[in-house]
């Protein structure tokens, strides 16, 4: 139940001081009723000086956080859902009594799909606004731009996007998947279940797609299979006819696509116009970048039949997810959709709240120390727990796109995959 999720934020370590709540409320209640009922469990508010020794924007009644995503530019198609999800989580937490008895206030900034702007806005949030946490980023380029600022000013970022791994910062909680949880498991599935032998790798031209495809190529070749093409295009590119012609000529078993942002609209429409019918799987298309959020722009009819490897789809069948989807739609409209990154963004404020209340402080160093072991037993994705390396345990889920813009869940790994951002091979 959604109520069980809200009250089931806990810590894995025995005897730790994280919040523990009774998990029994009737399933199907609207979010407002759930959080009203949960308010009685709110943690009492200690004085500001007792929970804030770092000069953060914390008063006796409020705490300030930052939301930093691209609300404009080519990445807004992907990041708008994250903004919505973080605001929803903040409102729900406030309805439940806040964090250490304080209501969350947020300062929203626009990264504008420009990596230096992300660094500039992160500095503003930490130095001028003195926020206690930042929820933000989508591309690895935006995260890499923010990272030195976070480490210089000792800020904490909750980063929601699946990414290439090869990073572990004390100043970041990675609520998306890293490569071993998404890329390797997805390739293993398509090889085993679709007998794929040849791959054409395609991506947008920046850190994540290039590094992810290096990992994918290594794994494909390790399996004794072949990469027969690999190409990259600038963010915002809208001309894919040349590479589509090459794909038709080379006839790979799999198009492995890591196109991001608004470029997806042009890419999938041009694939369909070129006569590539993804429902026939010749070639099969497997993406690790197109969530339900992007399909809103692409159009379900242009991508139906494609496969995606993620950890979350809106169609996941569990009570916590059904209630989460209902709350999201109640706030933003019945036509809204929820993708993997949107759900991971929503987890961020909840994980931060649990770490703050376990630490009994908003101080960044104390929140960092309290974070490993924080778990959400009934999250929309099923289960979430922060590893010592600041990533989350998660399953790999394979979905197949439908004409209505949703994914049918085809496969889930039976067990949670331990995050491993630095695989030895």
Read off the pLDDT of residues 378-392 as tens digits, 9 standing for 90 and up.
999 999 999 999 999
pLDDT at 48: 86
As a whole number, mean pLDDT of residues 282-307 equals 96
- What confidence tier does 96 reach under pLDDT thresholds 50, 70, 90? very high
As a whole number, mean pLDDT of residues 72-82 equals 95
Helix axis angle for 140-153 and 207-222, nearest 10°, is 110
pLDDT at 20 over 90: no
pLDDT at 45: 79
What are the residue boundaries of the structural domains of the chain, listed by start? 53-176+318-394, 180-310+401-412
- What confidence tier does 107 reach under pLDDT thresholds 50, 70, 90? very high
Q: Which of 136, 140, 105, 138 is nearest to 123 (CA)?
A: 136
- Are the beta carbons of 345 and 82 closer than 8 angstroms? yes
Percent of the chain beyond pLDDT 90?
87
Query: For all residues of the chain together, what is the average pLDDT?
Result: 91
Residue 149, φ and ψ in degrees, nearest 5: -70, -45
pLDDT at 424: 82
pLDDT at 11: 40
As a whole number, mean pLDDT of residues 148-171 equals 97
Read off the pLDDT of residues 201-237 as tens digits, 9 standing for 90 and up.
999 999 999 999 999 999 999 999 999 999 999 999 9
Residue 136, φ and ψ in degrees, nearest 5: 180, 180
pLDDT at 257: 98
Percent of the chain beyond pLDDT 70?
90
Read off the pLDDT of residues 335-367 as tens digits, 9 standing for 90 and up.
999 999 999 999 999 999 999 999 999 999 999
Strand partners, 307: 286, 400
pLDDT at 236: 94
User: What is the β-pairing status of strands 157-159 and 134-136?
Assistant: parallel
pLDDT at 189: 97
- What confidence tier does 27 reach under pLDDT thresholds 50, 70, 90? very low
pLDDT at 42: 47
Read off the pLDDT of residues 272-281 as tens digits, 9 standing for 90 and up.
999 999 999 9
Return left, alpha or beta for 40; rule: phi > 0 is left, psi -120 to 50 is alpha, else beta.
Answer: alpha
As a whole number, mean pLDDT of residues 301-314 equals 98
pLDDT at 44: 60
SS3 per-residue string spanning 400-417: EECCCCCEEEEEECCCCE
- What confidence tier does 8 reach under pLDDT thresholds 50, 70, 90? very low
pLDDT at 34: 39
- In CATH, what is the architecture of 53-176+318-394? 3-Layer(aba) Sandwich (3.40)
pLDDT at 158 over 90: yes
* Range 180-310+401-412 classified under CATH 3.40.50.2300: yes
As a whole number, mean pLDDT of residues 374-379 equals 95
Q: Do domains 53-176+318-394 and 180-310+401-412 have the same CATH topology?
A: yes
- What confidence tier does 31 reach under pLDDT thresholds 50, 70, 90? very low
């Amino acid at each position: 139940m959604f109520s069980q999720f809200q009250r089931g934020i806990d810590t894995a370590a025995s005897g730790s001081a994280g919040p523990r709540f009774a998990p029994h409320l009737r399933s199907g209640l609207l979010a407002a009723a759930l959080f009203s009922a949960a308010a009685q469990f709110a943690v009492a508010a200690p004085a500001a000086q007792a929970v804030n020794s770092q000069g953060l924007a914390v008063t006796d009644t409020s705490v300030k956080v930052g939301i930093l995503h691209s609300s404009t530019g080519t990445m807004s198609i992907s990041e708008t859902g994250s903004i919505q999800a973080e605001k929803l989580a903040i409102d729900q937490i406030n309805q439940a009594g806040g964090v250490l008895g304080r209501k969350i206030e947020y300062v929203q900034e626009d990264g504008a799909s420009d990596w230096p702007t992300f660094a500039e806005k992160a500095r503003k949030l930490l130095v001028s606004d003195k926020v206690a946490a930042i929820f933000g980023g989508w591309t690895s380029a935006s995260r890499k731009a923010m990272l030195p600022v976070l480490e210089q000013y000792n800020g904490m970022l909750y980063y929601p996007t699946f990414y290439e791994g090869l990073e572990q910062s004390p100043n970041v909680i990675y609520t998306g998947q890293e490569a071993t949880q998404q890329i390797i498991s997805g390739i293993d599935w398509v090889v085993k279940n679709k007998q794929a032998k040849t791959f054409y790798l395609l991506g947008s031209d920046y850190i994540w797609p290039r590094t992810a495809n290096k990992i994918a190529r290594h794994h494909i070749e390790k399996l004794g299979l072949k990469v027969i093409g690999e190409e990259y295009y600038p963010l915002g590119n809208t001309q894919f006819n040349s590479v589509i012609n090459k794909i038709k000529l080379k006839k790979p078993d799999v198009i492995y696509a890591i196109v991001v942002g608004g470029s997806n609209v042009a890419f999938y429409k041009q694939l369909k116009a070129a006569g590539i019918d993804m429902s026939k799987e010749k070639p099969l298309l497997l993406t690790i970048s197109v969530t339900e959020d992007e399909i809103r722009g692409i159009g379900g009819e242009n991508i139906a039949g494609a496969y995606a490897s993620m950890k979350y789809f809106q169609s996941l069948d569990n009570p916590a997810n059904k209630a989460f989807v209902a709350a999201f739609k109640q706030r933003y409209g019945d036509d809204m959709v929820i993708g993997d990154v949107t759900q991971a963004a929503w987890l961020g404020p909840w994980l931060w709240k649990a770490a703050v209340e376990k630490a009994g402080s908003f101080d960044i160093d104390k929140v960092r120390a309290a974070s490993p072991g924080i778990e959400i037993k009934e999250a929309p994705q099923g289960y979430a727990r922060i590893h010592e390396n600041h990533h989350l345990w998660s399953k790999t889920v394979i979905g197949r796109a439908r004409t209505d813009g949703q994914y049918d869940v085809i496969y889930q790994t039976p067990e949670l995959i331990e995050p491993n951002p630095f695989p030895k091979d």
